[in-house]
Structure 1
Amino acid sequence: MNVMIVEDETLLAMELESEIEMAGHRVTGTAMNREQARNLTEAHRPDFAFVDIHLQDGPTGIDVGRDLASQGIPYVFVSGNIKKIPEDFAGALGAIEKPYTLNGMKNALAYISATVAGEGNVAPPASLLAKPSLTKPSP
């Protein structure tokens, strides 16, 4: 899976990149603001993205998320303030709260990989606050 990271804190982006690569995926690049995210998406359309809410240009991560959702690119918010996520999750699959544990990120990444691959029978791990529609039982 080709993954884009949208994170303005360099050390956190590097840590996340390492986790993604250890899980067998490829990082297409890291963006630190909305414009960089747009450019990176155009240059290397990712299969998935991790998006922080607060970036170099302010709280534009939600806008980045909406941009990704409009292009059909699944993503998850990774943020220290998940209360800022809109009720509709701005199209995100869910959110991972910072600080996260390495094991929590590994479990979330396994779930995300399965979801992106179309395996709908996988339950989200505790480390991932899943979008409410993903956790409701079907009628």
Structure 2
Amino acid sequence: MTARILIIEDEALVAMELRFVLEDLGHEVIGMASDARAARKAVDSGGVDLALVDIHLSDGPTGIEIGRQLAQDQGVTVLYMTANPGMLGAGVAGTIGVLSKPTDERAVQTAVDYALRRRNGQPTEFAPPELRLFG
């Protein structure tokens, strides 16, 4: 299953690596945003299935709220990717979970596959071990 994915990450090299991994898996990366304003603009263009969201962006720790807004207001499936998973506490309502950075291609692939299966109402017996699910 292919998806339209938005990468919200302020480190350009990390964002590019994610883009390559996702495109190799057959997904369409519809944009990369490094701050809250750019993320909202990308989503306003429509058609986002999944957003991979870092917490600390170029405008500060705005990723938590961006993820919440995308999930609750726009119906986007949200996975956080951060080196600071503890900042998410017990989780963020409406979002799936967090993948700790640094990570590898296999962990990204299994987490994205899991998130997309959940989005599409398909069976998801077990989450990948690298993915901490919320609620």
Report the TM-score, using the length of structure 2 for normalisation. Answer: 0.91
In 2, the alpha carbon distance for the partners of 1:22 and 1:115 equals 21
Q: CA deviation at 1:86?
A: 3.8
Aligned partner of 2:64 in structure 1 is 62
Counterpart of 1:82 in structure 2: which amino acid? P
Counterpart of 1:93 in structure 2: which amino acid? I
Matched position secondary structure for 1:46: coil
Counterpart of 2:51 in structure 1: which amino acid? A
Is 1:89 matched up with 2:88?
no
Q: Paired residues, what number?
A: 132
Aligned partner of 1:117 in structure 2 is 120
Counterpart of 1:110 in structure 2: which amino acid? D
Aligned partner of 2:108 in structure 1 is 105
Query: Which of 78, 83, 97 is residue 81 of structure 2 equivalent to?
Result: 78
Aligned-residue sequence identity (percent) comes to 36
Does the aligned pair in 2 maintain the 1:62–1:90 contact within 8 Å?
Answer: no
Q: CA deviation at 1:107?
A: 1.4
Aligned partner of 1:127 in structure 2 is 130
Does the aligned pair in 2 maintain the 1:34–1:57 contact within 8 Å?
Answer: yes
Query: Which of 37, 40, 43 is residue 42 of structure 2 equivalent to?
Result: 40
Task: Flag the 1:64–1:11 CA change in 2: closer, same or farther, 3 A.
Answer: same
In 2, the alpha carbon distance for the partners of 1:122 and 1:15 equals 29
Root-mean-square deviation over aligned CA pairs: 1.3
Does the aligned pair in 2 maintain the 1:49–1:74 contact within 8 Å?
Answer: yes
Aligned partner of 2:29 in structure 1 is 27
Query: Which of 7, 11, 15 is residue 13 of structure 2 equivalent to?
Result: 11
Matched position secondary structure for 2:125: coil
Report the TM-score, using the length of structure 1 for normalisation. Answer: 0.89
Q: CA deviation at 1:24?
A: 1.2
Q: CA deviation at 1:87?
A: 2.2
Task: Flag the 1:90–1:57 CA change in 2: closer, same or farther, 3 A.
Answer: farther
Q: CA deviation at 1:81?
A: 0.2
In structure 2, the gaps of 5 or more residues are none
Matched position secondary structure for 1:18: helix
In 1, the alpha carbon distance for the partners of 2:84 and 2:43 equals 25
